[in-house]
Amino acid sequence: MISVFDKKDECCGCTACKNICPTKAIDMIPDEEGFLYPEINQELCIDCGLCRSLCAFQNEYNTYSNLGTPKVYAAKHKDKNVRMNSSSGGAFTAISDYVLGNKGIVFGVAFDENMNAVHRRANTSEERDKFKGSKYVQSDLKSTYKEIKQLLEEDIQVLFTGTPCQTAGLNKFLGGHNTKKLILCDIVCHGTPSPLMWRDHIEYLEKKEKSKVANYYCRHKVKGWHTHTEMVIYNNGKKDYKSTISQKHKTLFYSHNILRPSCHNCKYTNLIRPSDVTIADFWGIEKYMPDFDDNKGVSLVLVNTEKGEQIFKDITKSLIIRESNIKDCMQRPLKEPSKPSQSRVEFWEDYKTHGYDYIIEKYAGYNLKSIIKQNIKLVLIKLGLFKYLRQ
């Protein structure tokens, strides 16, 4: 029997192998860190080898239509409300509006009723709006690839937005068939965090507040675009972005302890993108175009293919754009994978032994001292003394 991968850092969990299997012998099963991996039912497996040969992460991914060097733009949506409800400058809204206007279908990531990150389809702008904003957890693709294949066979335009590994996986699964109306849009990705750690974070918040989490913004602009602020909205109406615990998933994310192993072996941290268009935050815009930065968000748009060029041309009426260059837009995820944390093994051993409460105290600094310090800071801010003491 052929195993889909030899080591965990060779599997990004894109589901292409599961969806292509002719005997349905593959299921995506969570491991002890909550990441989904393909498991093969030996009784159903016919050793055809499709799962391994199809894997875009272990084999070369399709870049035949790339322009070579992408064209680079800074972009802001003309509608300020769109921009304020987006993680960056609203480029995704402009692209998806174009597709919805053509009676197409948009696929993106939303939180379901249990706050799990899942890929879904949207036929309307209201459904699409749930895809807005960064989701700092790996999404479950479920049957998305097969749904897209069916829609393309019906000659319906489709926009798929996801991480570059998910985009490459979809492209490989489709094999170039009926992709004329497919638009691939990937993001500049720092790494995909553990769904298990995300679930524990949500449950901890709900336990503390004694209310279900109704919505979660992994990046909210309440303190401006340049400040990474997470906001939790509860069923009881409370909005929390000030408490110490509300920001701790962000801390774990930046520690790299909760990223998928394949993120440190990523094949897509370069300028040869597996998509028509790449979108991201234009970090550094304040240095290169200070007059374009108002701290409300600017999108970085990389146009990678001729199809992407045509789409970008069609959506410019919704955007304020400035042409840029590779040098000014360069950021680490476009050059190299995220470095693994030196404490990763210890982190997960501690989690297995002691649980989430122990983890956030040891690795995210959520303890009595930090809580007292945060409360004093909030009091000083209320009294208008914080800025004075800081100076």
CATH of the domain at 24: 3.30.70.20
Tally of domains in the chain: 3
The CATH number of the domain holding residue 319 is: 3.40.640
Torsion of CA 213, 219, 225, 228, to 10 degrees: 100
Q: Are residues 38 and 165 part of one domain?
A: no
| 1 falls within a domain | no
Q: Are residues 326 and 363 part of one domain?
A: no
For tokens 């476009």, the residue is 334
Q: Are residues 168 and 29 part of one domain?
A: no
Q: What integer is the mean pLDDT of 171-192? A: 94
Q: What integer is the mean pLDDT of 17-34? A: 97
pLDDT of residue 314: 96
For the chain, helix, strand, coil in percent to 5 are 40, 20, 40
Q: Containing domain of residue 246, as a range?
A: 195-258+342-390
228, with CB counted inside 10 A (0-12, 13-18, 19+), is middle
Q: Are residues 90 and 169 part of one domain?
A: yes
pLDDT in tens, 52-102: 999 999 988 777 778 889 999 999 999 999 999 999 999 999 999 999 999
Q: How confident is the model at residue 384 (pLDDT cuts 50, 70, 90)?
A: low
Residue 206 CA to residue 240 CA, distance in Å, equals 12
Q: Are residues 381 and 366 part of one domain?
A: yes
Q: Are residues 174 and 213 part of one domain?
A: no
| The pLDDT of residue 1 is above 80 | no
| 61 falls within a domain | no
Q: Are residues 209 and 179 part of one domain?
A: no
| 379 falls within a domain | yes
Amino acid at 37: Y
| 3 falls within a domain | no
Q: What percent of the chain has pLDDT over 90?
A: 89
Q: Are residues 292 and 266 part of one domain?
A: yes
pLDDT of residue 136: 96
Q: Are residues 180 and 104 part of one domain?
A: yes
Q: How confident is the model at residue 380 (pLDDT cuts 50, 70, 90)?
A: very low
Report the DSSP pairing between strands 117-122 and 319-323: unpaired
pLDDT of residue 333: 96
pLDDT of residue 61: 79
Q: Are residues 170 and 209 part of one domain?
A: no
pLDDT of residue 3: 82
| The pLDDT of residue 198 is above 80 | yes
Q: How confident is the model at residue 374 (pLDDT cuts 50, 70, 90)?
A: very low
| The pLDDT of residue 218 is above 70 | yes
Q: Are residues 266 and 248 part of one domain?
A: no
Q: Are residues 290 and 147 part of one domain?
A: yes
